[in-house]
Amino acid sequence: MSDHSLTLQPARLWLRQLRPGDLLPVAVLAALILFFALRADSFLSPANLLIMSGQAGILLLVALGATLVILMGSIDLSVGSIILLTAAILSRVVNFGVTAPILIILVVILVGALAGLVNGLIFTFGKVPSFIATLGTLSFFAGLGLTVIGGRSIYFDAPGVLSLSIGQWIPGVQNSAMIGLIALTLVALITNRTRFGLYIYAIGGNERVVRLSGIALRRVKILAFVTSGVTAALAGLLISSQLGSSGPSLGSTALLDSLAAIVVGGTALSGGVGGVGRTFLGVLIITVLVNGLNQMGVQDFAQTMIKGAVIVLAAIFTMASQRGLTLK
């Protein structure tokens, strides 16, 4: 498959999921682009568009796995801490002498998979609500990551690792954007073309019926959390390779930004409605919003308030447009 067709594939999968109810997010995205283009001269500059593509790719990775968990009617609050833990281990591994990109990627995937497995096991076998389970692991993973780096920033210099994020396999497109699109393609195929994807939607729609049908619920739920852990860890790899370091604040905004993208795109927090195609649209909206606010010089605390309000408003519109959804 050529790079060109690979780039177009996520868009085709997203268009298949597009429904009349998705027109509002599309309109919001268009309005934001127009607004910031008029208010900030550099917003549509090639340099800024390149930066936005990288930002969108990283956020997309975090949101993809989290979308699967939310489609089940659950939630993963630990994605930001998994990013921190991954970056902490990555910096130590690189400084230890392991700099081959393929080995680094394997280490990162292993860290994310183990973190997701812990979440899934606590949720399924411990019978702890996902909110409580991942709230606990949020603190645990963050504390473990801070322990690994001693509570301070750790820098590393490995050209092969650094190029994973800011390099350009395709001129004009950051590698992080391409990695995000590849992950979107894979997850979209899984959710739309496999039994696992069907079970994810079914669990979010009516878990009791799925249980009576004899489907291995625990296996599906654990795999969804493992996927969320892996995509968060890959995002941690890209963020740390972009910065050339790990630090205590890494991943601090990932949870809010990914939830905002998922909800703004039209995926219901109650589960069973939405998908990664809508999350892709939500990621574009949040990326444009954050970048545009930065271009206008809006303070970070004000941006946090705005993103919180966006989540609430998007949730209200999602529930209103999807009659019959049950609040959980």
pLDDT in tens, 294-308: 988 888 888 888 878
Q: Locate 139 and state its tokens.
A: 């603190």
Range with the poorest average pLDDT among 18-32, 51-65, 184-198, 203-217: 18-32
Q: Is residue 326 part of a domain?
A: no
Q: Is residue 327 part of a domain?
A: no
Q: Locate 108 and state its tokens.
A: 């990162």
Q: Is residue 314 part of a domain?
A: yes
Report whether pLDDT(321) > 70: no
pLDDT, tens digit (0-9, with 9 covering 90-100), for 101-138: 899 999 999 999 999 999 999 999 999 999 999 999 99
Residue 306 · residue 289 · CB < 8 Å: yes
**Confidence class for position 12, pLDDT limits 50, 70, 90:** low
pLDDT at position 320: 63
pLDDT at position 6: 47
Q: Is residue 298 part of a domain?
A: yes
pLDDT at position 323: 52
**Over residues 137-164, mean pLDDT:** 92
Residues sharing a CB contact under 8 Å with residue 274, sequence separation 6 or more, in sequence order: 67, 70, 71, 262, 265, 266, 267, 268
Q: Is residue 328 part of a domain?
A: no
Rounded distance between C-alpha atoms, residue 62 and residue 48, angstroms: 21
pLDDT at position 9: 53
Q: Residues 317, 320, 325, 328: is their CA dihedral positive or negative?
A: positive
Could you give the angle at the alpha carbon of 155 between the alpha carbons of 152 and 156, nearest 5°?
150
Closest CA to 283 of 301, 305, 264: 264
Three-state SS sequence of the chain: CCHHHHHHHHHHHHHHHCCHHHHHHHHHHHHHHHHHHHHCCCCCCHHHHHHHHHHHHHHHHHHHHHHHHHHCCCCCCCHHHHHHHHHHHHHHHHHHCCCCHHHHHHHHHHHHHHHHHHHHHHHHCCCCCHHHHHHHHHHHHHHHHHHHHCCCCEECCCHHHHHHHHCCCECCECHHHHHHHHHHHHHHHHHHHCHHHHHHHHHHHHHHHHHHCCCCHHHHHHHHHHHHHHHHHHHHHHHHHHHCEECCCCCCCHHHHHHHHHHHHCCCCCCCCCCHHHHHHHHHHHHHHHHHHHHCCCCHHHHHHHHHHHHHHHHHHHHHHCCCCCCC
Residue 67 · residue 281 · CB < 8 Å: no
Rounded distance between C-alpha atoms, residue 82 and residue 309, angstroms: 25
Q: Is residue 220 part of a domain?
A: yes
**Domain range holding 47?**
3-321
The model's pTM is 0.87
Q: Is residue 142 part of a domain?
A: yes
Rounded distance between C-alpha atoms, residue 32 and residue 149, angstroms: 39
**Confidence class for position 327, pLDDT limits 50, 70, 90:** very low
**Over residues 167-187, mean pLDDT:** 89
Q: Give the number of domains in the chain.
A: 1
